[in-house]
Amino acid sequence: MSLWVDKYRPKDLSKLDYHKEQAENLKKLTQRGDFPHLLIYGPSGAGKKTRIMCILKDLYGCGVERLRMEQLNFTTPSKKKLEIMTVSSNYHIEINPSDVGMYDRIVVMDLIKNVAQTQQLDVNGQREFKVIVLTDVDNLTRDAQHALRRTMEKYITNCRLILCANSTSRLTPAIRSRCLGIRVPAPTITEISSILQNICKKEGLTIPSEFAQKIAEKSNRNVRRAILMCEACKVEQYPFSVKQNIAEPDWLMFIRAMSRKISQEQSVNTLANVRGDLYELIIHGIPNNIIFQTMVSELVKNCDISLKSEIISQAAFFEHRLQHGNKAIFHFEAFVAKFMCLYKKFLEDTVGDVF
């Protein structure tokens, strides 16, 4: 039994539920000879991956759906062995270059060259190129981005890249200008709520539109999250009731609880306690920027406007620093400690004002 998120993933450009005009444009794109490199970007859960699979299906037919997982091995010039998981069909291959961290350049370059070198297996196939899907390209190192520049021009006859990113801020202009950028905004609350209702209908369930709306709102415009929450609600209680509890992701509740702790008591004890929480989050693979953002937006809630801006400015400083060190915990803690100082002073001052 597959999850609803997988079971009801649209498989055709024409079946996509929202951004229909864009889907139509993408369809035209696949029918032309001059298919460009693509850069598909948007927040997580906006449906980028679904769109990419639809594009591939349009290009190559059902063959792209026969996927296999394979581990590829690479060797750096210094003879270090690298392994990376790939998902591929006869027509495309997908990797997440950031899996190999600072060695992403070698993996990406070797892969492109090899793909460009192998002739299309299916001689009768209407496409003379294969597709390399690179996910998470926000995290590509500068080095890898530089290396991609000329490669993208040079090997364009035999392979096309589809780059997938949450945001394009960190991509160099050189990479951006070599791709056709496709912006994929998160679907609206209304769109998500109608997707939920459709899924429920197909499952033979009834869902009050008010409840679907409520889930959509809680999902933060993230379709994947919304569908997961909806399925979880179904397991919890069916028939649905508008008042039923909608479970939010564990990590979200965890960060909220942690932030409450920080706001309640500013002490070395709390700091030590929070360290444990932070480690917990890091170990579970919650991305640093998610931890930081959620924590910040929770922490500023009880502050006045001038303190808010002071805290944001500190957060911006420490969050940026975190990108450089390899020990995230230091920077998280430094920020928490800074917050505690500022907040404690603020509380004392306001109490002082009262007397």
Partner 1 sequence: MDSFLKSGKLGGSVGDKNNQVNNEVSKKKRSVPWVEKYRPRTVSDIVQQSEAVQVLEQCIAGADLPNLLFYGPPGTGKTSTVLAAARQLFGDMYKDRILELNASDERGIQVIRDKVKTFAQLTASAIRHDGKPCPPFKIIILDEADSLTNAAQAALRRTMEKESKTTRFCLICNYVTRIIEPLTSRCTKFQFKPLDESKIFERLQHIAIEENLQIDDDVLNALVKTSGGDMRRATTCLQSCAILKGKDATISMQDVYEITGVVPEQWIKNYLQACKSNNYSKLEEFIETFILEAYTASQILKQMNEFIVNTDEFTDKQKAVIGEKLGIVSYRLQDGGSEYIQLLDLGCAIMIEYSKTG
Q: Which of residues 124-163 bind partner 1 (CB under 8 A)?
A: 128, 130, 143, 146-151, 153-158
18 contacts partner 1 (rule: CB under 8 A): no
Judged by CB under 8 A, the chain residues 211 through 270 that form the site for partner 1 are 220-221
116 contacts partner 1 (rule: CB under 8 A): yes
- The Cα 326–Cα 314 span in angstroms is 20
89 contacts partner 1 (rule: CB under 8 A): yes
Judged by CB under 8 A, the chain residues 312 through 331 that form the site for partner 1 are 312-313, 315-316, 319-320, 323-324
Q: Which helix (H) or strand (E) holds 147?
A: helix 142-154
Nearest approach, Cβ of 269 to partner 1 (angstroms)?
Answer: 27
DSSP code, position 17 = S
Q: Which is nearer to partner 1, 42 or 97 (CB)?
A: 42
Nearest approach, Cβ of 92 to partner 1 (angstroms)?
Answer: 8
Nearest approach, Cβ of 7 to partner 1 (angstroms)?
Answer: 25
Among 13, 23, 42, 240, binds partner 1 (CB under 8 A): 42
Per-residue DSSP letters for 159-186?
EEEEEEES-STTS-HHHHTTSEEEE-PP
Tokens representing 96 are 């997440």
Q: Which is nearer to partner 1, 86 or 197 (CB)?
A: 86
Only one of the segments 105-113, 236-244, 248-256, 266-274 lies at the binding site for partner 1 (rule: CB under 8 A); that segment is 105-113
Strand order in the sheet with 38-41: 68-75, 81-88, 92-95, 130-134, 159-165, 38-41, 180-183
73 contacts partner 1 (rule: CB under 8 A): yes
- The Cα 246–Cα 229 span in angstroms is 7
Among 10, 11, 17, 72, binds partner 1 (CB under 8 A): 72
Place of tokens 């948007």: 42
What one-letter code names the amino acid at 257? A
178 contacts partner 1 (rule: CB under 8 A): yes
Three-class secondary structure of residue 145 per DSSP: helix
Cβ–Cβ under 8 Å, residues 95 and 170:
no
Among 59, 162, 296, 340, binds partner 1 (CB under 8 A): 296
- Give Rg (Cα) of the chain: 24
Judged by CB under 8 A, how many residues of this single chain contact partner 1? 86
* Sign of the CA dihedral with 286 first, then 253, 44, and 293 last: negative
28 contacts partner 1 (rule: CB under 8 A): yes
Cβ–Cβ under 8 Å, residues 259 and 298:
yes
Nearest approach, Cβ of 123 to partner 1 (angstroms)?
Answer: 12
Tokens representing 223 are 């379709």
Q: Which is nearer to partner 1, 208 or 287 (CB)?
A: 287
Only one of the segments 184-192, 209-217, 236-244, 263-271 lies at the binding site for partner 1 (rule: CB under 8 A); that segment is 184-192
Tokens representing 187 are 């679907």
Only one of the segments 3-11, 206-214, 234-242, 303-311 lies at the binding site for partner 1 (rule: CB under 8 A); that segment is 303-311
